Every structure is written in C-alpha cells, then in structure tokens.
Chains A and B, each alone.
Chain A
C-alpha cells in the first residue's frame, strides 16, 4: 500500500491516517530542528532588537508625516501577518480579512466611546473577531479553493454592509470619530506610533512563536497534504479553523490600531479598496518568511502614497504594477509555499510511511 501514500490521486487511505502521521513526524523532528536553529536565532534576535531601538527613536528625529506613514506600514504589516497565516501557511484563500480588520477598528472605537480603556479593547476586539472568523470559517471550510474565496468574500462584504445599517452605534455610512488614546507627555502622533510599534512587535513575536513551532509545521503539512489528497480528516479541518481564528484575531488587532491612526472611520474604507492592497501585501511578501508581511506592507504603502492624487492614473498604475508584479513573480507565493523546511518535512513524512509499510 505504500505506493498509494506517495501519489497525489491516492484514495482515502492517506487523509484518514493523516493527523496521526503528522503528529508523529512533528514530535520526531521538533527537537533536532530547534537545536540547529538556535545559533542563527541569536544573531537574528540581536538584529531585531537593534531595529526596534532604531524604530523607537524615529519620532524624535523626523516629522509627523513620516511617523504616520511608518505607523501605517506597521499596521498593515500586522494585518498581513494574519492574512499570511491564513492564505500562506494554511493555504486557504479566505477573503473576509478586510471585514475582520473593520471589526477590530469599529469594535475598539465603539468600546472606547462607551468608556472602555483603549488598551483593553485591543485584545477584546481581537477575541471578538477570532470568534467571528470561526463563524465565517466554519461553513466555508468545507468549500474547495475558489468557493471558499467567494463565500468568505460575500460574508466579509455583508459584515461591512452591516456597519452601514448599524447607524445608531457606528454612525452608518457617514462614519464615526475615534477617540485617540494618548500616552502622557508626548504628542498624539508619537503616542500612537509607540503603541503601534509595541503591539506590532508583540504580534510578530507571538505569530513567530506559533508558526515556527509545531503548530506552523502542522498547518503546512495539512495544507500540502490537503492539496495532494483532496480531502481531509476532522482533525485537519480543526487546524484550518484555528488558522481562521488566529488570522481573525491578528486582523482585528491591526484594525484597532488602524482606527487610532486614522482618527475617523467609515464603512467604505473597508471594502474592496482595502482588500485588494491586503492581497497584494500577502502576495508580494510571500508566505514563508516572517519579514515578508513587512516588505509587502511597505511595498503597498509606497505604491499608494506614490500614486496618490493621480485619479484614474493612480488606479491604472496600481492595476498595472499589480499585474507586472504577478507576471514577474508568479511564484511569489507558491515558491515560498514550498519552503525548504516544509518540503523536507513532507518528504520525511512520506519516507516514514513508506518504510513502515514496507517492513510490515
């Protein structure tokens, strides 16, 4: 039977046995991987700390516009981190991300208006969005490829539409003012920037922790094997749902920061005109690296700022740059899908199965 497990069109054997095999492979490989990574991890850690210190110095050496743009980049980077987790790591094209981002922005702003301290609303909005993401993901998760994309797109749009209808709370299509939280002693822009930077650093750290370890590898394995075998067992579906929840949490956290940064929010901000740049950020950033979201966000921000106030020319430029990037880097995402680690892991998994079946 071992040949079956090595082949894409294999019958039911592989999927049902999958979770156990995945877990077995992970526990076996986890320890070795950690030891090998520790050396370069230290160097990377130093680089990260130096970068952080430099970033913290930024408001003292530049003007508010630069501070705003860097803040926005960081917010998008956090949002992309979550989107990447869903699209890149778990392989699901869920398109409700802009809506979950909106849930964070509105959830936090409404709660702040009701008297809840802003810093408390960050995790609260995140948890609410995570629950909502599960509600969105639950029916959608059985859908294949593009159907998932379309179902989640429709749901996301519906959520944004709801913001229009909930005018008494959200101000409807006219939008609402956001009470900006300010740290004592510094101006608003710098204060918001510091909060954005701190939260972004925490989110990067948390997502990194989650993805570098066993969870990330399982997600990738579920994604890769899912592509091969077509159907998945219950446990694999649970992993995909967890990916939805985490990605929703991160999206909403980014959304809370976004509202603080914009100081005024309205539903139309969170429609396709936000989703498209978000997709671009994920695409450009690629799925494997944790710095990818930052690069993707910076790329999109430059594009947006650069082509601002050009009207139609902006949209054309945007569309064309997007098309050129896809044409030149079609594997931008997929090449990273098959990162060395994951393919080696999958390979070892196959070998393990093959050898155990042959000896038995």
Chain B
C-alpha cells in the first residue's frame, strides 16, 4: 500500500513537473530564432487594437502605399482581439510596436512594464457620452443619478474623472451599466447616456436613423476630462537598441497619417479592402473623423504624432485623481519624444 501511495505522489508531482519543464524547453528553443530573423530583415510587427478600420488608417496607408518599404522596413500589422492586449503582445515580444490608449499604457507602466509612449496619434479624446435630445442631459453635471454605459476594462476612468470634475462621487452618484459594443441598450432605453466613439459608434447611430439633432453629445475634451487615447508605444530597451529603425518607422508612419488625413476616401477604402469590416462608406466616414483627432483644429501636419506635454500631464493627473493609477507617474518616465523629433525633421 505504501509503495502505491508513494508511486502516486511521484506520478502526481512528475506530471506537474513534466508539464512545466516541457513548456520551458519549448520556450528557450523558440526565442533566439525570432531575434535573429528580425535583425536581418528589419521587420517590425505592430499590434493593433482592433481589426483594420479607419481608426488605424495611417498605419495601413503607410504599409499599402509603400512608405514603410521605402524606409527598408517590412511591417506586419496584427489585428487586435478581445482577449489579448497590445501591451501583453509587446511585452511578450510578439510585436515590437503596440497601438494602445495612452491611459491604458500608463497602468501597465505602473504595473512594472518598461514601456515608453513614442507617438501620440490622437491629440483629442474621441470619447463621447451620447444622450437623446429630449432627455435634457447635455453636460457632465446632468449625469447625476442617471444610467450611464461604459465599456469598462479601464475605459470607465475618463467618466469617473468627469463625475469628479462635476463634484460627484463616481461610485455613488451615477448608476453604471456595462455596455456592449452596440447601441441596442441605448435604443431600447436601458441607458440614459451611452458610450460612443466619435469615429465609430456615434457614426453608427447617424447611419441608423438618428439625426445630429436627435442627440446630445457630452464631449470629454470640452468637459476637461479627456484622457489621451491611441498612441504608439514600445519597450524602452527595444527602442534604445533599435533607435534608427524606430525613427525610420515613425517617419513612415507620419507620412502614412498625412496621407490618410489628406485622402480619407482612398485611405478608408484601402482599410476596408484589407479587413472587409462594415462598409467602405463607414470606413471613409471613420477616417474623416479620425483625421480631426490626428490633426485637430489649430494644429498642422508637422505635428502628427507630437507628444504634447500639457495633454500628457493632464492624462496623468486625471488618471491619478480618478483611480486609474495609484501614483503620479513622472512624465519623463512615461514618454520619450526624442524618436519623434528625429523622425519629424
């Protein structure tokens, strides 16, 4: 009996050990090969946030129009998924450059990932809260006691900041609802105010029977609650070792965005042809909206990707106030504009 028991322990433990060591072996075998291939070809993998859509038009334009090729870089753009974040993909070296919300990158930086934001794609927050015109909800202050939809997963903090700016306790004064990525809950009255991106869900509402007069928009930029969203981030160590490559990549990306902003029809169609997502019209409309975020009023093409320290600092401050991050991250640890400066010359 004792032997049997002992055998049991051995089998049990060795199974666990075997599983672990098996995985370990696999890992060490595959890591170096990826590294060497990358150096030979100047290959960069970009982890996007989502499937090909106007939101990323500049990247796809740079790829399809040969701007990356011209810089001697072979770029692959991985579409994003629901269960995997750009931050993890970059940390795992599956991609070298990630597209993510700067507000989200901040949380990973605080968690110990040594990322730097090297390119601030969107200068403004595209986040709207949309209400029906007859609801009388027009500003952040009107949200008290209302049912507000958020996508959560970090996206709620911009609204927490909004609530705080209006003197509310976000946990008590607003009834939060999880919103799916459709507007069905808004249509059926389950939400008083629904999350919508200026470049996507808001357009979908307009495409599906609402007119602009039917809707009120609470714009995070006007409310002073804007957190910066789409940016390009890399590992600090990777950037230091591949400075030239990163600068060339950013130079081509700036060209790509300039092209997309100036030719939204063509860029939108091009994005649609890659992903076949939604309709070409929707992608063109999205690219046009995104253009307003990449080059807002008063800015110009020379500032594409520019890291504005005022906006960055506001994002850090609001993120700290609203509980997104527990410590005020030092701006110099969070961004590095030197690569952009070299690329934009």
Specify whether A and B are partners: no
Question: A interface vs B, CB < 8 Å?
Answer: none
Question: B interface vs A, CB < 8 Å?
Answer: none
